[in-house]
Amino acid sequence: MQTPLLQVKHISKTYKLNKGWFKRESVEAVKGVSFELNRAHTVAVVGEAGSGKSTLAHLLAGELELTSGEILLHGQNLATTERQQRCMDIRLIPQKPSQSLNPRQRVGDQVIAPLTMYRTLSQELRQQKLISTLRDVGLLTEHAEYYPNMLSSSQRLRVALARALIVDPEVLVFDQTLSAMDVTMRAQLVNLLSSLQQSRGMAYIIIGHQLSMIRHLASEVLVMQHGEVIERTTVATLFSEPQTDYTQRLMHAYKELTQGSS
């Protein structure tokens, strides 16, 4: 049997809070979460506020240290992978990607910045990579000369995506990235992400409640509550037979919304 691209094994994260002299409290934000993800597949993560979704995203992207458990990519434990490489393999796209852009720096310089880690890459190759990545996300070569405020919000999201894609990641994690978008932008993004997934074989982890997007992009859904995965299901089953109280409420709200808007 082939090794899955990503294997998450019983990972946990406990935040330790200093509450003054001798007083220490801790929050178990993620508790024993396990799942696997194959190349060119998408898993969605849903759950109420504070259920541990963002903590999970940061653990996967290596921005937080695990309290216990392990994450393997191509069967290799990421704890043994060099940090720079690891940051390129799994990239996190935050909730408001345009806020991660520097308003005073040209788009091209910002997209190319993660490539500077590849010291061996010539200036010419970097430039070629910049142009092809801008094209991949539906931007023009000329956009490299623009500043972020000269672009629409949809274009700024594409810039953030290009910044992640330029280092050829294997996994992209979207932490509620899609929640602030209007319907047209979401539809554009679903198309863009699907075609990028087909051409590059990347795996996606999509965190959020945009069920219309989850329906189009994901094959599996993990439901989190109090740091644990309480339901793991296919997208089809989520829509036809939600198991837990939480997913039943989620589906109910979704049906009201879609029936109300039709």
Ligand X SMILES: Nc1ncnc2c1ncn2[C@@H]1O[C@H](COP(=O)(O)OP(=O)(O)OP(=O)(O)O)[C@@H](O)[C@H]1O
Write out the residues near ligand X by the rule CB under 6 A: 15, 17, 27, 29, 47, 49-55
* Selection from 92, 254, 96 nearest residue 180 by Cα: 96
Q: Which helix (H) or strand (E) segment is 112 a member of?
A: helix 107-112
Q: Output 95 or 219, the one with its CB closest to ligand X.
A: 95
Q: Output 38 or 179, the one with its CB closest to Mg ion.
A: 179
What are the start-end ranges of the H helices in 29-103? 53-60, 83-89
Strands (E) in 94-158, as ranges, are none
Closest approach, Cβ 42 to Mg ion, in A, equals: 18
Closest approach, Cβ 220 to Mg ion, in A, equals: 20
From ligand X, Mg ion, none, interface partner of 47 (C-beta below 5 to 8 A by class)? ligand X
Euclidean distance between CA atoms 134 and 216, whole angstroms: 24
Q: Are 37 and 205 in contact (CB under 8 A)?
A: yes
From Mg ion, ligand X, none, interface partner of 198 (C-beta below 5 to 8 A by class)? none
From ligand X, Mg ion, none, interface partner of 42 (C-beta below 5 to 8 A by class)? none
* Structure tokens given for 227: 């740091």
- Give one DSSP letter per residue of 168-230, joined into a string: --SEEEEESTTTT--HHHHHHHHHHHHHHHHHH--EEEEES--HHHHHHH-SEEEEEETTEEE
Q: Output 17 or 183, the one with its CB closest to ligand X.
A: 17
* Structure tokens given for 110: 């910002």
Closest approach, Cβ 258 to ligand X, in A, equals: 22
Binding footprint of Mg ion, residue count (CB under 5 A)? 2
From ligand X, Mg ion, none, interface partner of 55 (C-beta below 5 to 8 A by class)? ligand X
What residues between 106 and 165 interact with Mg ion by CB under 5 A?
none
Of 7, 54, 110, 155, the one binding Mg ion (CB under 5 A) is: 54
Closest approach, Cβ 48 to ligand X, in A, equals: 7
- Closest residue to Mg ion using C-beta atoms: 54
> Between helices 153-165 and 123-136, what is the axis angle to 10°?
130
From ligand X, Mg ion, none, interface partner of 91 (C-beta below 5 to 8 A by class)? none
From Mg ion, ligand X, none, interface partner of 52 (C-beta below 5 to 8 A by class)? ligand X
Closest approach, Cβ 247 to Mg ion, in A, equals: 18
Q: Output 169 or 227, the one with its CB closest to ligand X.
A: 227
Q: Output 24 or 135, the one with its CB closest to ligand X.
A: 24
Q: Are 187 and 194 in contact (CB under 8 A)?
A: no
From Mg ion, ligand X, none, interface partner of 69 (C-beta below 5 to 8 A by class)? none
The residues that bridge with 222 in the sheet, in sequence order, are 45, 232
Closest approach, Cβ 91 to Mg ion, in A, equals: 17
Euclidean distance between CA atoms 118 and 158, whole angstroms: 22
